[in-house]
Chain A
Amino acid sequence: MIQHWNLFLAFFRVGMLGYGGGPSSIPLVHKEVVEKYKWLSDDDFADILALGNSLPGPIATKMAGYIGYRVSGILGMLNAVLATIIPTIAIMIILITSLNSFREQPWVNGMTQAVVPVVGVMLATLTYDFLKKAKVNLGWLTTLLLGAGSLILIEWAGIHPGLIIFALLLVALIRPMGKKGKDTKVYVNKEQSS
């Protein structure tokens, strides 16, 4: 019961504070799920984010649903998804059907403007955390190469990030593990020693 209440609170906050659509709620989910309630490790979170980004559909509900499911099954899944979306849908229906001039208010516009750089900071911090973790597992060189490669492919070649992630997953799946799996061993060793 406590678990369900915490799930509800965590994703209610994510939904109500996530200005700018689903992706802006990613750092909020990380804050609640990894740092506050410790339901997931950073590794788990990274996997969920990677797979969530590679699959179609809204990212916020995919994350909420899966994390809810991991924490307490089907009920947890329903709880987390509903907590993310119901409050904001209700506000939306009430506001649009009652006062349509709301969004033209200058102060509403000001609120939306001010929150954008704050979310930017949270995303930038998360970026840094991910790079730091990647360095521990792969070393600077591989991290930089993979990072630069992804940046070029996503930003300049216009390749969908889902394709890049799938390609990397494929590489991990099919490459020979025995003699050539040297860096894998390094990775596993570091994991155990840390």
Chain B
Amino acid sequence: MIYWKIFIAFFIPGIVGYGGGPASIPLVENEVVERFSWMSVSEFSEMLAMANALPGPIATKMAGFIGYQQGGILGTFVGVFATVAPSLLLMIGLLSLLYKFKDSPRVKTMTALIRPSIAILLGIMAFQFFRNSYFSAGALQTILLIVVSFFLLERVKVHPAFVIIGSLMYGAIFLGS
């Protein structure tokens, strides 16, 4: 039963993959390459390279594509459902509970206490993005892109959509060599 296999292959990474989509990449590889042998390692890394070049969350792109390869449109649906549904339902359940008690001082303390950690998490991600950019595009381009996008986003208040599209065009023309 291929659909059941697809479900299992993506249910496990979805429920074990802490730290967002990218954290589940090795888990997906484990299921898809090692356990079910749907792809070779090189096919998997080729698919991953393609997925990384496209926008949108990575985990669902992989689930959607591998599900499609193994079981057509219905396979896509099963793969994506298995990736998204379990953790989403957990999230809605827990947050609804939290929201019900949102005026209690304890819940307010909770919200306040976790905020510095969340800031650090975001800061670490920002640092990783800058570091990746430094190694792939070089210091000069990185600084230029940082300064210009900061100016446009924070001073001129351009919507991020336009800044991102602008940077994509800039990259296609000036960094594509």
Contacts and interface: CB of A to CB of B under 8 A. Distances in A.
Do chains A and B stick together as partners?
Answer: yes
B134 to A, nearest CB: 9
A187 B117 contact: no
B57 A22 contact: yes
Given A125-B154, A177-B105, A58 B119 contact: no
Contact of B83 (A57, A107, A131): A57
Given A17-B161, A60-B57, A114-B175, 7 more contacts: A66-B88, A96-B47, A100-B46, A143-B116, A144-B116, A150-B121, A169-B110
Interface of B: 14-22, 24, 46-47, 49-61, 64-65, 68, 76, 80, 83-84, 86-88, 90-92, 94-95, 98, 105-127, 129-130, 132-133, 136-137, 141-142, 145-146, 149-150, 153-154, 159-161, 163-165, 167-177
27 contacts: A15-B56, A15-B57, A22-B59, A23-B21, A27-B160, A48-B95, A55-B94, A58-B17, A61-B84, A84-B60, A85-B57, A100-B46, A107-B171, A110-B172, A111-B176, A113-B133, A117-B129, A117-B130, A117-B142, A120-B127, A125-B150, A130-B115, A142-B116, A150-B121, A164-B117, A169-B113, A191-B108
A121 interface: yes
Contacts of A81: 84, 88
Contact of A121 (B80, B116, B149): B149
Contacts of B20: 21-23, 53, 58-60
A66 B91 contact: yes
A138 interface: yes
A154 interface: yes
